[in-house]
Amino acid sequence: MTERIGVLGGGSWGTALGILLTNKGYDVTMWLRDKAQAEEINKTRINKKYLPEVVLPQNMEVTNDLEYCISNKNALVLATSTHGIREVLTKARPYIKSRQIIINVSKGIESETLLRISQIVEEFLPENTYVVLSGPSHAEEVAKNMPTTVVSASRDKSAAEYVQELFFTPSFRVYTNPDVVGVELGGALKNIIALGAGISDGLNYGDNTKAALMTRGIIEMARLGERMGANINTFSGLSGIGDLIVTCTSMHSRNRRAGILIGQGMKVDDAIKQIGMVVEGIKTTKSAYNLAKKYNIEMPITSEIYGVLYEGKDVRNSVLNLMVRDKKNELEDIIKYKNDSW
């Protein structure tokens, strides 16, 4: 039987995954909140705003009708920005059946509640099985069948394996992982470090600086993750260091590009406008900063980026603050292995 998949969200990532699933022979419907945009895509078969270089398959449906997109589907892919998920779930909940698997592909932490996306979904859909798909995966490359590897994480092993099989292709390899907390936090927190990497580039600092930011950044990510119940090993994997590398080094990364503009002296709001799409790392910085205070842990890079974004701190002073912190032994930050059963 052909799998029937609804994709909630028509940004670059939702579009790329919709194309991938359609090309596998599945029945795919993608929902967009903007009716005019949906009509334009149906007419031109191109998502001009988010993925202009890729033509959508003729048999991939695009709609503005949320009920139609959800009805009679085996699984639903949540591909909306983090700050929009609660609104989408509010509208979608009346149509969603408990048997439908929820596959989240968004990366972020809700600013007001500090909840991860799985926790938000559980509020709305406590009976539905949840899977998060994450890893180093720019939509622009996935849509062109460039080799990519990601991870499918769920507390339900069979659901993780279902999503693994659903998305697996010769150019899109999927691993499984039981650590939902770690995979979600890795995907969200790396955007903060990517902002910092972009700021470093905007200041014309070199590879040494970026390497330091990335290496110490993964320590911060793991430190918070460990305190929140994640498996430390997850941060050494695709959704941790893998996603961090690609987001800090690629010009496909909206977070890195925004950071470059900020490093060059542009105001935060102006940088967001110039990027023209959601820059998740900006809101995630605030969430992570507040989580660090809640759990009483040190996240110096995150704290300095928060100061730049929300307190108007000078970026060069923030770099200096990081460099002249108290001397430390690097191994003080190594966190012991935490075992999980699955």
210 belongs to the catalytic site: no
The SS3 assignment for 81 reads coil
Beta strands in 37-186 (DSSP E): 46-47, 51-55, 61-63, 75-78, 101-104, 130-134, 148-153, 172-177
Give the burial class of 306: count Cβ atoms within 10 A of its Cβ; 0-12 exposed, 13-18 middle, 19 or more buried: buried
- Side-chain half-sphere exposure of 177, counting CA atoms within 13 A: 29
Kindly list the distances between the CA atom of residue 312 and the CA atoms of 101, 188, 262, in Å, as whole numbers in the listed order.
Answer: 43, 23, 11
Give the span between the Cα atoms of 154 and 197, in whole angstroms.
30
CB atoms within 10 A of CB 152: 25
Any idea what DSSP says for residue 333? G
Give the span between the Cα atoms of 182 and 126, in whole angstroms.
20
Question: Which structure tokens are listed for 188?
Answer: 């969200």
Residues 6+ apart with CB under 8 A from 112: none
Q: Of residues 73, 107, 190, 210, which has the active-site annotation?
A: 190
What is the set of active-site residues?
A: 190
